[in-house]
Structure 1
Amino acid sequence: MRRRQLGMGALLAAIGTGVSSSGLGQTDSDLFFDDLPIVLTASRMAQSPLDAPAPVTVIDREAIDASGFTEIHDILRLAPGFLVADWPDGSPTIANHGVGDAYGRRIKVLVDGRTINNPLWGNVNWQDMPLRVDDIERIEVVRGPNGAAYGANAFQGVVNIITRATASESGAALIARVGEPNIRDVGVRLNSRGGTPLDWRITASRRTADNFDSYNEQSSESIVRKVLNSQFSAHLSPQDLIRLQFGVTAGVDRRGYPPATANNYPIRSEKLDESYLHVAWIRSFDAESEFSLQYYHQGRSVRGDWLAGKGNDPLVPANGDIDTTRDDLELQLTRRFNPQWHVLVGAGVRRDTAESERYFSTGRTIVARQWQTFGSVTWQPVQALSINAGGTFERHDYSGSLFSPRLAFNFALTENSALRLSTGIAYRAPSFMESDSFETLQNDGKILGIFYRAGLKVEPEKVRYSEIGYLARFPALGLNVDTRYFHERYSRYLDDQTCSYTSSRRACRVPPPENFANPPRSDRNFMFLNSGAFVMHGLELGVDWKVAGIGRALLSQAFVKIREDGYVPDASLVDSAPASLTSLLLIKELPQRWRFSLGYYHNSEMSWLNDGGKVPARDRFDIKLAKGFGATGSEDEFSITAQSLGGAYPEFHEESFRHEPRIFASLRLGW
């Protein structure tokens, strides 16, 4: 079996400094850009995908650049089985295979190992991250549950966004884009020159875009984002590395419904601020044994108020202010005892807070605490067999005690191919909204309407999964193949259901408050509850073919089916998985440093849940034509990108939203 397992400390040292490690015998470029790259995210240990206990797709820098994508969430279209959608009333959303809705709560997202999901809904505010696509080195996508490594909410997958090494560049760079609709983007990146104990990078940018025009008298969206991001890394000794990262985003969203249909959500401006701080210390004992300690903080603030009204009702003030924070402290120890045994143990504590008069009908701060311990043991009894057993035990204020185990077997068929069998359990803990929300519209002490309400005790969602995977590398052909069959059984599906305080047809299970208006302005309430079970199974295929002088082709294909396993009140859930999902990226290097790339993205008919709706089968084509210039090896480039060549297509809800075509020019200059 091709075995290149590495310790996280040695690995972070390589990432942070870009230098060779005597224990590794290779540079970070060798590690991550080989035909079969090292991955980090499957088990928290660096290892070959042939040894990984979970399926991992690596979207590398070449694929990211050739795709032409300038928004981070779009890059996940290249991962087998992943669904991506944007909508004008909130952040873009992602899902794996199906069960996708407006808030993308079932996938854990990391940046350099730190969790960035927002505690309010459990989603990711993709457009607001203090990070640019240009700062990303690669994205590792675990295409299935991974609670054994990351605990609750690593429920349908894990996305780990890994930024570019501080020492991989030097000097400065300017990146600018201009196009339609109203695309204006300029960024500056400054890097240390190297040769000093401290490596650093600072990026700053401002971008605007009109993401949605009002379609069918539905909502529109325009955004402005200012981003500052910085990273510093320093070797205190040959064994000790310190990394410091921090970033901020300041932005404005202009969104809402046109006057004819504005009801409670007219066109308005919302200001947002998002920030993070990440500090890590890594102590390496040898190439596969180390200790790490990291702390991170993230905060988000949204400010927006407007006058809400419906029909001939008088306008009343509405306030959408929200403040959330997360503080996380984590330690981890890995140890290679001998060639047969490799052990990882760790622990972490987390504190989340949320404050919003609108969403909780109180001025107090909502607090949730969590602690977890995790570990895994990898045993290689014979050269051709690797057995991984691991799990996470945790305690959360909203879910109680949970244990997420996994058992995986990796069989080496040849030096360049392996068969993987794995099974386990994962959970999704309720978010603040699902556990504590009481969203209201109030005026003069009267509650005029109740929207989301968490009045019932809810349990965490649960999935039991099993899969069989086959990975192979054919060096003579320049071909990598990754395929698997998966079977997942979900229970305690957590969703909201519509209820009424004035109708007995679907009466709310929780009585209305004493100050509830009679009659109310709105009597369409949404209560959270566990509501059914279902089974999801399917087949995935990933192909990466690269031949010097010819080009590169990356194919992702997934076939998915959902069936009820008992009563499921939302009939659209079964339709939330497209029967077929395809992406194809073709990259062709041309003479005189020209490059052409074509992206094709297809899904069969499907439905998005909760604020979404049915979308028909669709095919999207993107192209990018780029010309490199400057010194040999430089990244200086001018390009033209056209997205959605076939025109606007239904996005997230067939009757409400249209994804508009985009065309823009990009320029990157370094000095």
Structure 2
Amino acid sequence: MHVIPLTPTFRPILACAIFGSFLSAPAIAHAANDLTELSLEALMEISVTSVSKKPQKLANAAAAAFVISHEDIRRSGATNIPDLLRMVPGVQVARIDANKWAVSIRGFNGRFANKLLVLKDGRSIYTPLFSGVYWEHQTTPLEDIERIEVIRGPGAALWGANAVNGVINIITKHSSDSNGGMISAGMGSAEKGFVTLGYGKNLSDSSDMKVYGNYSNHAAGQSSNGSAANDAWQNGSAGFRLDSQLDDKDSLTIQGDVFSGSYDETYTLYNLSNPGIPQVQQSFATTSGFNLLSRWQRTLSDTDSITLQWYYDHYRRSMIELGETRNTVDLDLQHRFQLGKRQDIIWGLGYRYSYDNLSNSPYIAFNQPTKGANLFSGFIHDEIALVPDRLSLILGTRLEHNDYTGFEVQPNARLLWSPSQKHSLWASVSRAVRTPSRGDREIQYRFQTLPGPAQLEINGTNGFKSETVIAYELGYRTTPGPRISLDLALFVNQYDKLRVPLSGSPYLGASSIVQPFNLSNTMHGHTYGAELSANWKPLDWWRLQATYSYLCAIMYLDQGSGEPIAEINRSDLAGGSPRHQGSIRSGFDLGKQVELDFWLRAVDRVAYIDQIAIPGYITMDIRLAWKPVKQLELALVGQNLFQKRHPEYIPEFINTTASEVPRSVYGKVTWRF
């Protein structure tokens, strides 16, 4: 058994998290204007779509599902999507600097967390170059997000490769829910200035349209000595959405976005002129892009529908280490029907083509500056009612073919037992893969200079294979009364063929000795943990929500890897992820005009290799809002109030200089008309 020492620093964190875990439940999407309007039992009846690609009650989802509702977003005080995800148990969020985040589920956190699939309205925003998400690209106004559905655990049987440890689906509002105008603006110490404009209009009895535009200017973070870091940034975006009910059976959605941003960065680079001395260089990066999505759906009945979706996505990034331009086209067909009285079947086919154009630098280079990649896929999902309304068996699998490893099979089996409307128990076993990125196979990265002179270099491997996981999960949900609900998930994940850089033979380069590290599939191991969320409504005007999660990762290098540490527990190789973290949110409605929200977070220390660690921290956000009239809201938000600043992350291979998260405050005005 792996024993976790309760250090004096950590004891208050754990006590706070355990106490809070019996007070709150998962935030759930709902249409109410006030978070205290619906009972918790009613909230558990709300439908989610990411678990099985069809609407179903959250209480009947055979997966570890959590939903951040629009009301949760509004009252959180957060100004970006990664910070919103901090309220979800089992999700690790760390701010690298003022314009970069590391987000993962159930471990293996990093700027390019490669075991997490992120979608926006069904469009994948996972980049195949390094495997991960550019969170700084995600500039959708928070006011336009209807909900964020987070599935912890493998979702590959439905959503495909790279949905290894979870799926995040960001769902924006239907156009009919955005009629009228909205202006939101504010400024503060970290958020120097931001403004969002939105307008929706009913075009006819069957069609609605909305448009939006936003701009934000963000101050730099702070260095460990309190001085301003070189990581200030600004970004802007605009978009539209058209929803039309063509007839009694057919509906059509067309939507698109365009964005642009600029970012200050500081790198520690390999010194080309003097290899013995590292080169610290400040730089300026830019990014831009646009996307267009169309979705047609024919609904024949509650259990029979056909959906056809396609999208085109383009973005361009210009950085001192690498330039990237990417174009992606995706086509997806899905059909749902009922077979007999007890089987609900969904099947689908998909194709994706992604083409990139890279600008090499003396630091990062790829053998082929341009390259295209194909992905073919098909899936089937069958939900069988063994005992109607009591016991269900869910079977499914996804078959994919990619250009690197060929065919990949990702099956899934789940069992859901609901002895009553207030209790449900589910279990699952799944296999998922993380397919190679272009970087895994082709990168050559001069990432560090050592005294000597000497140079460290990371090289991709042509034979790099897919990483695999076999995941076992067990969950329980209950709403014992109208004012309390609990949600518990337990998991054990067994990983194989994990990526690890192994040292090769040194050689003499053009101006220095080079120590290469070759990416290899020679690490295996397992993780296990527990995630608890609860919701308690002690009074009609007061709601408490809280979460707690525990994660342990134990990794080993394979026998015959050639490394002397092959027998050593390498739990820190899955670093970037705290073992314990907890969150408590408390919302008060002080009459009809005033809202007061508290958000307490506690995060354990994060250990890395070579005895490097980031201390644990406890912090709190507070939001006070006043509505002098129904259409106008004035809000004051304080963030990270318990310390002047705190670090959350140490960069891995991409050597940008991290900064610390400062205490901050901002004011915001929202007017709807």
TM-score normalised according to structure 2 size: 0.84
CA distance in 2 between counterparts of 1:97 and 1:84 reads: 11
Percentage of identical aligned residues:
21
1:372 aligned to which of 373, 377, 380? 377
Q: Tell me if 1:76 matches 2:85.
A: yes
1:347-368, Cα deviation, whole Å (9 max, x unpaired): 1011122221324445641211
1:435-456, Cα deviation, whole Å (9 max, x unpaired): 2223469xxxxxx978442134
CA distance in 1 between counterparts of 2:343 and 2:116 reads: 30
- Going from structure 1 to structure 2, the CA distance change for 1:499 and 1:650 (only over 3 Å counts) comes to farther
Given that 2:99 and 2:232 are in contact with CA atoms closer than 8 Å, whether structure 1 keeps it comes out as no
Q: Which residue of 2 aligns with 1:231?
A: 241
Given that 2:268 and 2:279 are in contact with CA atoms closer than 8 Å, whether structure 1 keeps it comes out as no
CA distance in 1 between counterparts of 2:52 and 2:124 reads: 15
**Higher strand share goes to which structure?**
2
Given that 1:357 and 1:363 are in contact with CA atoms closer than 8 Å, whether structure 2 keeps it comes out as no
CA distance in 2 between counterparts of 1:420 and 1:571 reads: 29
The residue type equivalent to 1:425 in the other structure is R
1:333-382, Cα deviation, whole Å (9 max, x unpaired): 00023441100000101112222132444564121111110011111021
1:276-301, Cα deviation, whole Å (9 max, x unpaired): 11111111111221000101121210
1:253-287, Cα deviation, whole Å (9 max, x unpaired): 1111599x995451121111022111111111112
Q: Which residue of 2 aligns with 1:59?
A: 68
- Going from structure 1 to structure 2, the CA distance change for 1:169 and 1:343 (only over 3 Å counts) comes to same
CA distance in 2 between counterparts of 1:575 and 1:246 reads: 37
Q: Tell me if 1:206 matches 2:206.
A: no
Q: Which residue of 2 aligns with 1:536?
A: 527
The residue type equivalent to 1:491 in the other structure is D
- Structure 1: gaps of 5 or more residues: 1-14, 19-28, 306-318, 442-447, 504-515
Which aligned pairs between 1:130-529 and structure 2 lie closer than 5 A?
A: 130-193=139-202, 195-215=204-224, 220-256=230-266, 263-264=278-279, 266-305=281-320, 320-358=322-360, 359-361=364-366, 364-383=369-388, 384-439=390-445, 451-474=457-480, 476-497=481-502, 501-502=506-507, 516-519=509-512, 523=514, 525-529=516-520
Given that 2:292 and 2:313 are in contact with CA atoms closer than 8 Å, whether structure 1 keeps it comes out as yes
Which aligned pairs between 1:596-607 and structure 2 lie closer than 5 A?
A: 596-607=596-607
Q: Which residue of 1 aligns with 2:133?
A: 124
Q: Which residue of 1 aligns with 2:118?
A: 109
Given that 1:143 and 1:157 are in contact with CA atoms closer than 8 Å, whether structure 2 keeps it comes out as yes
Larger relative contact order (Cα-Cα within 8 Å, sequence gap ≥ 6): 2
- Going from structure 1 to structure 2, the CA distance change for 1:257 and 1:397 (only over 3 Å counts) comes to closer
CA distance in 2 between counterparts of 1:258 and 1:574 reads: 23
Q: Alignment partner of 1:327: what SS?
A: strand
CA distance in 1 between counterparts of 2:523 and 2:395 reads: 30
The residue type equivalent to 2:550 in the other structure is F
The residue type equivalent to 1:123 in the other structure is G
Q: Which residue of 1 aligns with 2:624?
A: 625
1:638-657, Cα deviation, whole Å (9 max, x unpaired): 10111100121121039953
Given that 2:98 and 2:232 are in contact with CA atoms closer than 8 Å, whether structure 1 keeps it comes out as no
1:647-668, Cα deviation, whole Å (9 max, x unpaired): 2112103995311112100110
Q: Does 44-53 or 535-544 show the bigger shift?
A: 44-53
Q: Which residue of 1 aligns with 2:24?
A: none
Q: Alignment partner of 1:190: what SS?
A: strand
CA distance in 1 between counterparts of 2:418 and 2:472 reads: 19
Given that 1:208 and 1:223 are in contact with CA atoms closer than 8 Å, whether structure 2 keeps it comes out as yes
Q: Alignment partner of 1:534: what SS?
A: strand
Instruction: Give the superposition deviation at 1:115.
Output: 1.0
The residue type equivalent to 2:479 in the other structure is R
CA distance in 2 between counterparts of 1:279 and 1:175 reads: 28
Q: Alignment partner of 1:457: what SS?
A: coil
The residue type equivalent to 1:280 in the other structure is R
Q: Tell me if 1:668 matches 2:659.
A: no
- Going from structure 1 to structure 2, the CA distance change for 1:592 and 1:37 (only over 3 Å counts) comes to closer
Q: Does 209-218 or 290-299 show the bigger shift?
A: 209-218
CA distance in 2 between counterparts of 1:323 and 1:362 reads: 16
1:504-550, Cα deviation, whole Å (9 max, x unpaired): xxxxxxxxxxxx51336xx3544321131111111111112235623
- Going from structure 1 to structure 2, the CA distance change for 1:247 and 1:70 (only over 3 Å counts) comes to same
1:620-645, Cα deviation, whole Å (9 max, x unpaired): 111111112423xx5x3110111100
Instruction: Give the superposition deviation at 1:39.
Output: 1.1
Corresponding residue pairs, total: 606
- Going from structure 1 to structure 2, the CA distance change for 1:31 and 1:167 (only over 3 Å counts) comes to farther
1:412-466, Cα deviation, whole Å (9 max, x unpaired): 121121110111111111111112223469xxxxxx9784421341111111011
- Structure 2: gaps of 5 or more residues: 1-28, 32-37, 272-276, 448-453, 559-565, 652-656
Q: Alignment partner of 1:92: what SS?
A: strand
CA distance in 2 between counterparts of 1:471 and 1:629 reads: 40
- Going from structure 1 to structure 2, the CA distance change for 1:616 and 1:145 (only over 3 Å counts) comes to same
Q: Does 524-533 or 128-137 show the bigger shift?
A: 524-533
The residue type equivalent to 1:277 in the other structure is L
